[in-house]
Amino acid sequence: MFRRSLLFASMFVCLMASASELRVDIAQDYDEHLDALFKHLHANPELSMQEFETSDRMAKEFEDAGYKVTRGIGKTGLVGMLRNGDGPTLMIRADMDGLPVLEQTGLEYASQVRQVNLEGIEMPVMHACGHDMHMTTLIGVARRMAGMKGQWSGTLMLVAQPAEEAEGGAKAMVADGIYERIGRPDFALALHIWPSNPEGTISFSDGLMFSSADTVEIVVRGVGTHGASPHLGKDPVYIGSQIVIALQSIVTRDISPIEPALITVGAFQAGTAPNVIADTARLDITVRANTEETRYYLLEAIERVAVNTARAAGIPEELLPRVIVREDGALTTTNDAALAKRVRSAMEAGMPADAFVEFQQLDMGSEDFPDLVNVDPPIPSVYFVVGGTPPDRLASGDWAEAHSNLFRIEPRGPVTAGVEAMTLAALELLRPR
């Protein structure tokens, strides 16, 4: 018993020493390389499916770290591969695109970029959702794992994905044959900056992380007429307004009050003049749910409510509303429970106890990472979040949520913690057997 205790103590001391050395190496790499990379990426964002210079930079970073790069997957996506003997394949993904937001953070490296979007409109561009942090962290992990090849065995598959904000980049990479061309991973990991948590803290659940998200368009068709003679037409504005109100009954009366569900009409467009009753109106809707069952129910119920509200208003069958569900919707982001426990144990063994906070779903945000892993058969995956705001700024309210033009993080804490947590997870999943 004494010898076994001595052996355990020796292994514990070695583990602590190794974790300490990893933290020192990450801090040094941040000072020498990652800080400049983060600031470059932040200052040079690109819109979804137009991440050409970003893709070039990520390819160079992968290649400099010794990875074999395959480019042009899903247009601007790329993969860096590092094979290191026998073992499983682990995929780690980071997203690359910025948002059409005018940055007003006042940072020295704030974005001044303007870019013509895919619709031909010039827009300001900002990394207002932390994708610069995600990419920097991925490169930090790439560099650490390349320097620690004696401690793991298998294959690292690092993915730089386009168009997460447009919720189409992951699907584009799968449709372009990422797994047929590169290989299918056994596990997958991803992370996101979390501005409402203290900087450098790690948080994730053993199940649900983010909601599903779908965009629905309803075209309400009526019969146009003079605004002074509404009885001679069928007013799509009035019918559309009834649909807006009726949609809320789906959430409040069809769905259990303890089951999260959301239907938000974000845009209502109709008409050209106050004295003209138009012949069409358009509703643009976001739909959110925490289970696939609720998601599908909401989508079917929206069509039922829209069509039958129009019927009740006397709209003929040939003019009933068109309900269009866009194909780029996001599935729920749900961690594999067994893998989450394994990853958490590895992180907790190597990081301080105060590095972890309980995960709380504060809203019904979504991710398109599930489109990379919900293939046939599904790839077990874990998604975690890294706190991005210093505690004093959290306490004073001096922080902004993602997608705000004031969104900013103090990069050192989140990046170094993200690299450490992800590297510990990777070492565990690729541990020689």
Nearest to 263 by CA among 290, 292, 284, 285: 285
Q: Is the pLDDT of residue 118 over 80?
A: yes
Residue 11 pLDDT exceeds 80: no
Token pair for 228: 């002074």
| Cα torsion angle, 143, 65, 129, 325, sign | negative
Fold for 16-210+332-429, please state it: Aminopeptidase (3.40.630)
Per-residue pLDDT at 417 = 98
**Residue at token pair 């989450």:** 340
* pLDDT, greater one: 314 or 167: 314
pLDDT tens digits along 162-200: 999 987 899 999 999 999 999 999 999 999 999 999 999
Please give the average per-residue pLDDT across 148-167, as a whole number. Answer: 96
Sheet architecture: strand order including 212-221: 261-270, 280-289, 212-221, 322-325
Mean pLDDT calculated for residue range 105-126: 96
pLDDT at 329: 87
Query: Cis bond leading into 198, ω under 30°?
Result: no
Q: How does residue 20 score in pLDDT terms, banded at 50, 70 and 90?
A: confident
DSSP letters, 295-355, are: HHHHHHHHHHHHHHHHHHTT--GGGPPEEEE-TT-B--EE--HHHHHHHHHHHHHHS-GGG
Tokens 């990472």 map to which residue? Answer: 369
Average pLDDT over residues 244-250: 98
Residue 16, pLDDT score:
53
Contacts of 106 (CB under 8 A, 6+ apart): none
Alpha-carbon distance of 43 to 428, in angstroms, equals 34
Name the token pair of 266: 């974000």
Provide the 3-class DSSP secondary structure of residue 67: coil
Residue pointed to by tokens 């649909």: 243
| Residue 47, pLDDT above cutoff 70 | yes
Domain ranges in the chain? 16-210+332-429, 212-325
In angstroms, the CA 217 to CA 203 distance is 35
| Residue type at 342 in one-letter notation | R
What is the dihedral sign for C-alpha 225, 227, 230, 235? positive
- Rounded distance, CA 53 to CA 34, Å? 18
How many H helices and E strands in the chain?
A: 12, 17
Measured CA to CA, the distance from residue 240 to residue 236 in angstroms comes to 6
In CATH terms, is domain 212-325 a member of 2.170.190.11? no
197-217 burial by CB neighbour count: b if 16+ within 10 A, else e?
bbbbbbbbbbeebbbbbbbbe
pLDDT of residue 6: 45
For residue 328 the two structure tokens come to: 């780029």
Query: Cβ(405)–Cβ(104) under 8 Å?
Result: yes
**C-alpha dist (Å) from residue 374 to 377, 378, 409:** 7, 5, 31
Looking at this protein, which amino acid is placed at residue 370? P
| Tens digits of residue pLDDT in 325-363 | 998 788 999 999 999 999 999 999 999 999 999 999 989
Q: How many Cβ atoms are within 10 Å of 288's Cβ, its own excluded? A: 23
Three-state secondary structure call for residue 59: helix
Please tell me the distance from the alpha carbon of residue 388 to that of residue 133, in angstroms, as a whole number.
Answer: 10
**Quick one: what percent of the chain has pLDDT higher than 70?**
96
Q: Are strands 154-161 and 89-95 parallel, antiparallel or unpaired?
A: parallel
